[in-house]
């Protein structure tokens, strides 16, 4: 039985902090992009944004880069699959560890799968809301 791109991505999202599991579901050169390909100013405020490469980057990003936040809930509401591409839409609730602020944000993910493993993820969420939960440099 063949595993669909949607099933592979759902398995990855079920536990994106387990490096061994992430490595088994992604290519060694997996690329993760959030909000911008290259925006140093945005990355200064939100270190998980921009372009990141390798399975370790998935764990770092979803782990809140130093555990900046705690994920409380993650809900996929819609899945669209087309060939080796899958898009997921939904919401997630998380709390900034330092600020204690909690937010529910909509998200969208586009993933591309090659030979049964994710090799590209593009993640979009509520940037304004996110920045309000983790604070800003110098504050």
What is the pLDDT averaged over residues 122-131? Answer: 76
Higher pLDDT among residues 73 and 109, named by residue: 109
Q: Determine contact, residues 109/123, Cβ cutoff 8 Å.
A: yes
Q: Determine contact, residues 107/91, Cβ cutoff 8 Å.
A: yes
What is the pLDDT averaged over residues 46-74? Answer: 80
C-alpha separations of 23 from 12, 16, 33, 48 in Å: 10, 10, 17, 19
Q: Model confidence at 133, in pLDDT bands (50, 70, 90)?
A: low
CATH number at residue 64: 3.10.450.50
Phi, psi (deg, nearest 5) at residue 124:
-125, 140
**Domain span at residue 67?**
5-134
Would 51 be classed as within a structural domain? Answer: yes
Domain total in the chain: 1
pLDDT digits (tens, 9 = 90+) for 89-102: 999 888 777 778 88
Would 139 be classed as within a structural domain? Answer: no
Q: Rounded distance, CA 29 to CA 55, Å?
A: 7
pLDDT digits (tens, 9 = 90+) for 14-36: 888 899 999 999 999 999 998 88
């Amino acid at each position: 039985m063949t595993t669909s791109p949607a099933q592979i991505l759902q398995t990855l999202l079920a536990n994106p902090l387990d490096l061994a599991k992430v490595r088994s579901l992604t290519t060694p050169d997996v690329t993760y992009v959030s909000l911008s390909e290259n925006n140093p100013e945005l990355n200064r405020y939100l270190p998980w944004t921009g372009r990141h490469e390798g399975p370790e980057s998935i764990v770092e990003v979803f782990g809140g880069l130093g555990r900046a936040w705690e994920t409380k809930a993650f809900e996929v509401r819609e899945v669209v699959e087309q060939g080796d591409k899958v898009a997921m839409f939904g919401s997630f609730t998380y709390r900034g560890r330092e600020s204690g602020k909690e937010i529910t944000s909509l998200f969208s993910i586009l993933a591309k799968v090659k030979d049964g493993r994710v090799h590209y993820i593009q993640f979009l969420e509520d940037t304004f809301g996110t920045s309000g939960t983790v604070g800003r440099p110098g504050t």
